[in-house]
Amino acid sequence: MKPHILFADDEAAMRELLSEYFRQKGYDITAAATGQAAMRLADTGHFDLAILDINLADENGLQLLGYFKANFPKLPVVMFTGLPEGDELLDQAMARGASGFMRKTDSMDDLLAAVQVYLPKP
């Protein structure tokens, strides 16, 4: 069975790009455009990892992280950010239980490596 990733990002191009990339690498991925959609998907499906944009248009990524940690405490949650290194929000996310983070400026291979820390290769 392929590992299943939930990916929440409000940028359509980013959702499409990463979804296609991870599918080509053998992962199942379900994308959500909003925090509300990500919560609904998590409540009704099984995921092995969540990737959450820290700056979603409809919701603060930290609040969404809190929801995931409260309701799915064993689910690894990787925060996805375009924020610069050392940003306070990213530090807060790690302090609140994020498993790790990926930067939107990282190469696709670096993003894949970050995910593989928490998931086996398919």
Tens-digit pLDDT profile for the chain (122 aa)?
899 999 999 999 999 999 999 999 999 999 999 999 999 999 999 999 999 998 887 678 889 999 999 999 999 999 988 776 666 777 888 899 999 888 888 898 988 998 899 886 76
- How many domains is the chain built from? 1
Using CB atoms within 10 Å of the CB of residue 73, give its burial: 0 to 12 exposed, 13 to 18 middle, 19+ buried.
Answer: exposed
Using alpha carbons, select from 32, 18, 27 the residue that is nearest to residue 116.
Answer: 27
Which structural domain range is residue 105 located in? 51-122
Whether 65 maps to a domain, the answer reads: yes
Nearest C-alpha neighbor of 68 from the set 31, 33, 96, 105: 96
pTM of the model: 0.91
CA angle 60, 62, 66 (to 5 degrees): 120
* CATH code of the domain in which 104 resides: 3.40.50.2300
